[in-house]
Structure 1
């Protein structure tokens, strides 16, 4: 085995071992749950800081709780290439979502440190303290603080125990009044590259270890209530029914049809509820969600417009009314072309096939795009691409491959002129 292959294999093994160790920092025995500024979250931050220090980085923690390791360039105070991801989790999570994007660059920096290798720029690895939005129902808190777009109104949001975010931060030793100082200056940043498991089956299905992300898809979400008329299942003739559930079902089928066959466009009815439903009752009400995403905002908005136009037609034909509430709207975030090109070059130089694909999930890179150009490297995950679940898996070989690509990207990196 060549020296480079040995280093990559060692890096992959280290990443997998660290992922297992980091998963021990959990609020719940037997499953991984790590939400913002809990005891488990703070101990995970301390563990990341220890690994960063051992890898030759100077470490600091900002007012949002982000853990930041800086590997200096060949000249002091050089601008930095940023990388990283989040170390908070959903409830009953997998081990690699978010965590991979922190552990992998730490392992790579550790190898450069052993080689006493420096670059014309600094490298800063960020463990974003909060991305998932579980505890306070507010997402991307860590990356928004660094991007300078943190909305201080969320400080008054309360968790399930009634504690406000501001109070929780103070109890953990963080001053919310200092959040503005967490923001990076654009002139000190060269770009941002996030490594992340795909959270989907595309790379797995095509037997590819890595892929270049083209854009983080925009999303439109709705909460819809269909209001009909309840009735006895045996006594109300089919032609006289005002069945709310069937109206909702037809809308769902229309969404499926409208979003099928258009590359990058997906539509989902993820929740469907018939309040007070019974086996022998015609449903008088149905409540459901709609989630439509695409890497192109024009494609997404065209689909949304068609769905919004079709829903009342279906409802009127079935004798029901609709209460439609738009609950979320996020624009697409394209990955910078010049960074995509350099990432593609790193993949090619590693002798790997090239695949471009969009990300349908949200990531810290979405927020960092307000600060600097962003790129993403997707890494294959197993088990059908399942994520946000204990069955989320990846292999040491793929971790090693991703580390090799990331290393080549950094070693060949050329700042935008």
Structure 2
């Protein structure tokens, strides 16, 4: 392997990430949601940096993805396409590396390839996906879905919290809603898609490892419920006569915790609990709650979901609580990473003197969408501050980013 020690992937990525963090919907935190002025400014900055890095073509597509292509060696007549990328939108009050690391790091690698005059035996495309988090319109993966030609036109009628439709937001951003179909890439040419991402968890940190190879991206199920009991006076209604919706929700939440502790990659979360018009002296007559159940394989997740749903029915029947779904249950399949490319990443780590460590991803990523059209793989970098992410405390080190850049360059060469 060629030595890359003098290269400055790490410092460059940290500088770029800090500069992008200045563009925010909020003055006191990093919030960059789809098609806001801050989001559009972020896209423009990425576009400029791609041009400066030496990409041969840089374009913004019909949904706001910023796409840089570094062309193959001239001797390759019909080059295949290797794609990498991640998202540049954020959650509200988020961190500066989630998603963006997977854009900035390969940009830095392309900059070094360009300085060296080195070309790859395939076209290499870096995609800054415009939307993955769903923070503004509630439906994630709009941008990567468009990239593979799976954009749902019904999404154009989604409405944000201020009553602005997605169609209106696109028009205000200078995008043509009627042209979303043109955002589709030539997916038949895609040889491989890979994504570099912070782990968003503590596994690598606790193991003392800078990098890890992802085995699969968890499949998930989400459901939102409204439990309906009967409100009553807190002082005059005997305990055995109550239809307390909040107690039913609490019992369900504890069962989710218990059931989802029974398999290694299985996790379950009740992230939203709300008593509408609740009062300190009134028995909760209604309670809203959410469910999020994930696992590295669909069979494990589906078995847990089935058990949880049976338990919900049992608890509510026993407590005389009615159940109403406030939105349809939503699920996505697990996305296994390509065994061939996982082996290549492990070989790269060995060449860099790093342990060949593998782990699943409990979070969703754009790679989950690309898996429908091409083999995918992922490389995780260590996440500091206890593994926290989706939080201003999210951090990686310059040294880990440098090492990840070296790994990406080695992987690109192996793909050739």
Category of TM-score, reference length = shorter chain: over 0.9
Counterpart of 2:373 in structure 1 is: 371
Partner residue, 1:237:
238
Inter-partner Cα distance in structure 2 for 1:60 and 1:76: 23
Moved over 6 A (4+): none
The separation in 2 between residues aligned to 1:270 and 1:157, in whole angstroms, is 23
The alignment status of 1:255 with 2:256, answered yes or no, reads yes
Q: What is the rounded CA distance, in whole Å, between the counterparts of 2:294 and 2:17 in structure 1?
A: 30
CA 273–62 in structure 1, closer or farther in 2 if over 3 Å, else same? same
Between the aligned partners of 1:206 and 1:324, the Cα distance in structure 2 is 41
Match of 1:350 in 2: 352
Does residue 409 in structure 1 map to residue 411 in structure 2? yes
Give how far 1:3 is off. 8.8
**Distance 1:338-1:253 versus aligned 2 partners, 3 A rule:** same
Q: Is the 8 A contact 1:148 1:371 kept in 2?
A: no
Q: Secondary structure at the match of 1:412?
A: helix
Query: Equivalent residue of 1:4, what SS?
Result: coil
TM-score in terms of structure 2 length: 0.93
Q: Deviations over 1:107-143 (max 9, x none)?
A: 0111111111111112111111111222222321221
Asked if 1:297 is matched to 2:298, the reply is yes
SS at 2:395's partner residue?
A: coil
TM-score by length of 1: 0.93
Aligned to 2:29, the other structure's residue is in SS state: coil
SS in 1 for 2:69: strand
1:300 aligned counterpart, secondary structure: helix
- Partner of 1:7, secondary structure, is coil
Unaligned runs of 5+ in 1: none
Deviations 1:316-351 (A, max 9, x none): 333333334543111111111112111121112111
Which residue pairs with 1:48 in the alignment? 46
Alpha-carbon separation, structure 2, partners of 1:61 and 1:132 = 19
Q: Could you report, residue by residue, the CA deviation over 1:257-308 in whole angstroms, capped at 9, with x for unpaired residues?
A: 1110301101111111223333333333222111111111111111111111
1:4 aligns with: 3
Q: Residue 34 of structure 1 aligns with which residue?
A: 32
Match of 1:65 in 2: 64
1:221 aligns with 2:225: no
Match of 1:97 in 2: 98
Secondary structure at 1:215 match in 2: strand
Paired residues in the alignment total 412
Contact in 2 for aligned 1:79/1:187 (Cα 8 Å): no
1:20 equivalent to 2:18? Answer yes
Mean Cα deviation higher: 164-173 or 362-371:
164-173
Provide structure 2 residue ranges, at least 5 long, that are not aligned to the other structure: none
CA distance in 1, matches of 2:202, 2:78: 41
Corresponding residue number in structure 2 for 1:120: 121
